[in-house]
Copies of this chain bind each other. A is one copy, B any other.
């Protein structure tokens, strides 16, 4: 039995020119992920998630970060475990060609627009739009679907949208990230009120000028607040640290 680690990497990328229907299409970024082309059986020639086997002395999260960096050159701003897939028949083995069984611990990651531009792409690594994927190797279509579902549900109650942006951003840009991920438009006024009330961002004194409209104030991420609530796993296992919160003593009812 083999244990492998793979990662679904999301980024918002400016669309290729050739995929635009008309010149008038607004150049909205597209939710995309980098995939690698397999060069041997099974699934020779199919696109697959970046990943690799777990090495001797590294943790699962470390393995995800390493394999992701080795194949795509990317360093994610957010990395979280997604799910462990371990059906006996998922390795693509057939009666004619029985392969070894593989259990995959899959992670999902977000990279910023700026980082995504630095990705090492080529013949074997390419960005594909998340909503127009071809048939992938193994059960990777299911894995990507599940990662997409997690991203969309988590954006609504967490603060991970910042991971797509740089250090400074306007509320319009942050709102656009939410809209692209959720695939629906959000009310600018309510979005502003929510974000400001949540303390997730802090205003700066800078403004983004250049558009033919009123300059938009730039905000930055509030690092005093944890981006997501992971519960007891909040402290990464690589640096185990006793929780500062005392054990919940239950008063008798």
CB contact between A83 and one of B146, B233, B253 (< 8 Å): that residue: B233
Q: Quick one: given A84-B105, A145-B232, are A248 and B183 in contact (CB under 8 Å)?
A: yes
- B residues less than 8 Å from A187 (CB atoms): none
Q: A208 at interface (Cβ–Cβ under 8 A)?
A: no
**Residue count of chain A within 8 Å CB distance of chain B:** 41
Q: A58 at interface (Cβ–Cβ under 8 A)?
A: yes
Q: Quick one: given A142-B232, A233-B83, are A58 and B88 in contact (CB under 8 Å)?
A: yes
What separation, in Å, do the CA atoms of A57 and B81 have in the docked complex?
A: 25
B-contact 0/1 string along A1-30, CB 8 Å cutoff: 101000000000000000001000110100
Q: Quick one: given A86-B59, A105-B84, are A183 and B153 in contact (CB under 8 Å)?
A: no
CB of A105 within 8 A of CB of B131, answer no
Q: Quick one: given A28-B253, A237-B87, are A150 and B183 in contact (CB under 8 Å)?
A: no
Nearest CB to that of A21 among chain B residues?
Answer: B252
CB contact between A1 and one of B54, B183, B252 (< 8 Å): that residue: B54
B-contact 0/1 string along A74-92, CB 8 Å cutoff: 0000000101111110000
Q: A250 at interface (Cβ–Cβ under 8 A)?
A: yes
What separation, in Å, do the CA atoms of A3 and B53 have in the docked complex?
A: 14
- B residues less than 8 Å from A56 (CB atoms): 88, 101
Q: A103 at interface (Cβ–Cβ under 8 A)?
A: yes
Q: Quick one: given A54-B1, A84-B105, A248-B131, are A231 and B60 in contact (CB under 8 Å)?
A: no
- Chain A interface (Cβ within 8 Å of chain B)? 1, 3, 21, 25-26, 28, 54, 56-60, 81, 83-88, 101, 103, 105, 131, 142, 145-146, 149-150, 153, 183, 229, 231-233, 237-238, 247-248, 250, 252-253
5 A-B contacts (beta carbon < 8 Å): A25-B252, A28-B253, A81-B84, A84-B105, A149-B232
